[in-house]
Structure 1
Amino acid sequence: MMKKIPLYICSLLLVGLVSCEDELEQAPLSEASTANFYRTPAEFEQAINGAYAQLRPFPDRYYDLSETRSDNIYGSSSTGVRPWDPINDFANTIANNDLVAAAWNQNYNGIMRANTVLDRLDPSVVTDETQRNRLEGQAKFLRALYYFDLVRWYGKVPIYSSVVSPAAALEIPRSPVPEVYEFIVSDLNSAIELLPQNWTGTNVGRATSWAAKALLARVHLTRSGPEYGVEGPTLGVNEFSQALTLLNDIINNSPHAWVSDYARIFAYDNENNPDIIFDVQFQSGGLGLGSTLPGYMGVSSYFNTVPNIPSPQSSVEFREISDDLLNAYEEEDVRKAVTIQQGFTDDFGNVETRAFYRKFLNEADPGVDRFDWPINFPLIRYTDVLMMKAEAILRGGAGGSQQEVDDIVNMVRARAGLEPVSGVTLDMLLEERRLEFAGEGLRWHELVRFGKVIDKMNDWLPQEDELNRMPDSIEPYNVVYPIPFTQLIVKEGLYQQNTGY
């Protein structure tokens, strides 16, 4: 069913926060000001939609900064000058990279919008307590999600618990990673209490208490990952039992459920299906509010061969699927054809053998233009919850068994058309997650979380680097990205650059 949470650009002046522009200034989104906004409950609903709207870049960002950084993609372009090239190549000069800067800016814009709702939420205006709780819960869920994105990319980041002036922002340093996580956990615990278990009608797709629990479980697993000796997102704490409690609650009590057909999870006519716990909701209809991801992952030479595809699409050349990922699929695995377009013949009769992601592509429903693919992007799936449960058990969460781990992995494998396995290990689980979630932007974060990113990437780099642009090996500092240069120069000494950059 289509859709959705409207991706409104709020008609209000969101003053204040925070390092979202080059000089820590926030430009107005319209000529209206907060003085004559937030006067009705409807205006608060419009404002929270503006906080959701900052999720729109997430799919492309995950492709650029996670998939392209990982062993799933070999992204060196023919010229070596595309924005993703230095991401793919582990260049230590990427503090000036537009993609790295955008992740910082867009997340802080989302935080600023959530903070504005929270600061202005007034019982005398939103008199209905249920509506007020839901607005607060959504704002805290989104703020936590944006901060979790930031801490995984950059490690230490400044915390803004309310809207502040540009001058005040110049006095707020980066907070240690444990403090950022404390803020995230606090917001998610509040969201769990404030959000409904489900939404109906046009509100389907908003954050629920189940989405907050699933995100909190992922937070527990991430910060419990082994440390790398840098101020990154893994802290080596032991919170696997906390994660397992949340995951079991979702599995046993939520409305989310197993979808037996892998392809149907991503079908354009099956959005918000039981596997989807939270996703980025997109509009369709030529409004420029659809997804750009299907075209961004593909290449024009393919789209030119398909009738009725709006042209040109976003991408100009291949970021090809790595041989390592292609070879990881067993022959019978149905997920490969759903996830990957492996070869085609272009308009000139040239046979292209390289592969690209097609998981979110439906050639029969391309939308009105290349910014308008009408398909949501999953951030948390029920399958992910099941597999995170297996991870929590294997890493010592109390109350689970090896049999439960094997049963979960074999459910996933059976849906993929594969034979069962036994004695599943963490390495086996990580590989199964790779095949299940390829193209969904999880791979880099999972390599980090499992403590495998250095070994996996250092084995992979010399095998895949055909153009000889990558280093022979990566170092622990590569676990996080640099602080964008534009943030370092706003006030000398306010932020110190991450080690290695």
Structure 2
Amino acid sequence: MKKNIFIYSLALSASLFLTSSCDSKLDVAPTQSIDENAALSTSRDVEVTLIGCYDGLQDGDVYGGGFQYSSELLGNSDELGFGGTFQNLLEMFNKEITTANATALTTWRDSYVTINRCNNVLTALDILDEDKKARVEGEARFIRASLYFDLVRLYAKTWGDGDNAVNPGVPLVLTPTRGVTDADNVPRNSVAEVYALVIEDLTKAKSLLPEENTIYATKYAASAQLSRVYLMQSNFAAARTEANEIIESGAFELNATFSSLFFTFLTNGGANPDEYIFSMVVTQQDGVNDMTTFFGAAIDDIPGTSGRGDIRVLAKHRALYEVGDQRGAFFISPSYTLTQKHLDTFGNVLQFRLGEMYLTRAETNFRLGTAVGAMPVEDINAIRTRAGLKATATVTLASILRERHLELAFEGHMLHDIKRNKLAVGTIPYNSPKLILPIPQREIDVNPELVQNEGYN
């Protein structure tokens, strides 16, 4: 039986913050920092630090929502409305982002904090018990690669927009930073270099991770992320291979109904549906779901819902659904229309699900003229019939991309699908500087090696 993958946010153990003392328990030397040899001296210390990596990954500005809502707001073209007061989100909605944008700053900062934790783990693998080395290395590499992938997608030109070997990506920091000096003022690596590191880390992680890993990352999570990476690169054969492996593994299955994919806490006791490959879990004790914060609202008739109701679904999007499409009915209108995907206060923050893999396999098979695993029309019909629609006899690339847009709406794919398909956001072309986040001004101020993105002063 498959075990769903999710993350519990846990605070770092006190074992990372030890103090030294003399014989008397009252004679304690004040300590502001601790030598790494003391902090990471046992296998347990390294494992606790790995928990800190997951804790950072789940941060609300990272995989707890920041990466996802940034993509949806930047990629929006009159399908979403914004009624909130947060200036940082309003700037992304209007495509008028400043270098002081709070989301650009906190997503960058919190991602690099988490990357640094991963680097600490990866430099201490020899301390681990032998039977834990492979798994811990795989998890740390998966987290580090995932962060670099989403950073380069938001803060740099997209893959294929000009010369990947020349376009500035994001700085690759692969060793722990334990004290800031001039040596830490590193420049931005190229987009090509960042992608190469991401693929190297994820490929290694996939080879090291188990198929089942209780609440942590598995080989399937690494494979799902690889499918996204390859799709962004238009490496359709490789993306197809990864998606097909997950589908054919039998470790996951499509939910019988579309609506059962959500409300993970309210109707599923906090457990992930069988379709989820990887997600961040939010409990009543810990964790944050910023997709609910901004897409959700407290609905009187549905206890346990919450949110600000800032991001609203407009008629242009709702008109895209066919009559009878259950996905087109999965909205609620207290005084404005909201998606029901993100109403659950303690709902898990979805990262990868099997439906995405079916859509990726359908698209890549169609582009390549192949039928690995299934014909493209078969995969699309698996998604359509689950949504209550009649099976279609034929598909085109446009119809496949339309199904992807409707099935994965509001899950963080909008901007990246537009960019990889070289489309436009309204009148803004896919490669406009307006669709790239600025390097935070604070980072530019302290690191003279960093070059700001085009279009920002």
TM-score, normalized by the shorter chain, greater than 0.5:
yes
1:86 and 2:82 equivalent? no
Structure 2 residue aligned with 1:188: 202
Contact kept? 1:8, 1:53, Cα under 8 Å: yes
* CA distance, structure 2, for counterparts of residue 188 and residue 442 of structure 1: 20
Structure 1 residue aligned with 2:398: 427
- Secondary structure at the counterpart of residue 181 of structure 1: helix
Contact kept? 1:14, 1:112, Cα under 8 Å: no
* CA distance, structure 1, for counterparts of residue 4 and residue 230 of structure 2: 33
Contact kept? 2:135, 2:210, Cα under 8 Å: yes
Structure 1 residue aligned with 2:226: 216
Q: Tell me the alpha carbon deviations over residues 376-430 of structure 1, each in whole angstroms, 9 at most, x when there is no partner.
A: 121111111111111212332x743797111111110101011222332222122
Query: Residues 37 and 337 (structure 1 numbering): CA distance in 2 closer, same or farther, change over 3 Å?
Result: farther
Structure 1 residue aligned with 2:139: 138
Structure 2 residue aligned with 1:278: 278
Structure 2 residue aligned with 1:252: 248
Task: Report the residue type matching 1:436 in the other structure.
Answer: E
Larger mean Cα displacement after TM superposition, 166-175 or 435-444: 166-175
- Which of 407, 420, 423 is equivalent to 1:436? 407
- Secondary structure at the counterpart of residue 441 of structure 1: coil
Matches within 5 A, 1:263-412: 263-268=259-264, 269=268, 271-282=271-282, 284-285=283-284, 287-299=285-297, 302-303=298-299, 305-306=300-301, 314-315=307-308, 318-338=310-330, 340-341=331-332, 343-344=333-334, 352=335, 354-362=336-344, 373-396=345-368, 399-400=370-371, 404-412=375-383
Q: Tell me the alpha carbon deviations over residues 289-336 of structure 1, each in whole angstroms, 9 at most, x when there is no partner.
A: 24343243234xx54x358658xx552x53221222111122311123
* CA distance, structure 1, for counterparts of residue 356 and residue 219 of structure 2: 17
Task: Report the residue type matching 1:160 in the other structure.
Answer: V
**How far has the Cα of 1:457 moved from its partner?**
2.5
Structure 2 residue aligned with 1:52: 54
* CA distance, structure 2, for counterparts of residue 404 and residue 307 of structure 1: 40
Q: Tell me the alpha carbon deviations over residues 154-198 of structure 1, each in whole angstroms, 9 at most, x when there is no partner.
A: 121000111134225543100000000110011011101110011
**How far has the Cα of 1:8 moved from its partner?**
1.9
Task: Report the residue type matching 1:416 in the other structure.
Answer: A
* CA distance, structure 2, for counterparts of residue 34 and residue 333 of structure 1: 56
Query: Residues 63 and 195 (structure 1 numbering): CA distance in 2 closer, same or farther, change over 3 Å?
Result: closer
Structure 2 residue aligned with 1:117: 121
Task: Report the residue type matching 1:497 in the other structure.
Answer: Q
- Secondary structure at the counterpart of residue 161 of structure 1: coil
1:157 and 2:170 equivalent? yes
Query: Residues 403 and 245 (structure 1 numbering): CA distance in 2 closer, same or farther, change over 3 Å?
Result: closer
- Secondary structure at the counterpart of residue 374 of structure 1: coil
Structure 2 residue aligned with 1:462: none
Contact kept? 2:67, 2:107, Cα under 8 Å: no
Structure 2 residue aligned with 1:98: 102
Contact kept? 2:154, 2:436, Cα under 8 Å: yes
* CA distance, structure 1, for counterparts of residue 111 and residue 94 of structure 2: 24
TM-score by length of 2: 0.83
Contact kept? 2:5, 2:272, Cα under 8 Å: no
Q: Tell me the alpha carbon deviations over residues 59-90 of structure 1, each in whole angstroms, 9 at most, x when there is no partner.
A: 431453111222375344377x6321110101
Task: Report the residue type matching 1:411 in the other structure.
Answer: A
What's the RMSD between the two structures over aligned residues?
2.8
* CA distance, structure 2, for counterparts of residue 222 and residue 3 of structure 1: 24
Task: Report the residue type matching 2:393 in the other structure.
Answer: S
* CA distance, structure 2, for counterparts of residue 218 and residue 434 of structure 1: 15
Query: Residues 306 and 10 (structure 1 numbering): CA distance in 2 closer, same or farther, change over 3 Å?
Result: same
Structure 2 residue aligned with 1:108: 112
Structure 1: runs of 5 or more not aligned: 16-29, 225-238, 345-351, 363-372, 459-471
Structure 2 residue aligned with 1:66: 71
* CA distance, structure 2, for counterparts of residue 3 and residue 240 of structure 1: 26
* CA distance, structure 2, for counterparts of residue 132 and residue 474 of structure 1: 42
- Secondary structure at the counterpart of residue 278 of structure 1: strand
Structure 2 residue aligned with 1:230: none
Q: Percent sequence identity over matched residues?
A: 27
- Secondary structure at the counterpart of residue 395 of structure 1: helix
* CA distance, structure 2, for counterparts of residue 104 and residue 325 of structure 1: 30
Query: Residues 181 and 474 (structure 1 numbering): CA distance in 2 closer, same or farther, change over 3 Å?
Result: closer
* CA distance, structure 2, for counterparts of residue 85 and residue 404 of structure 1: 42
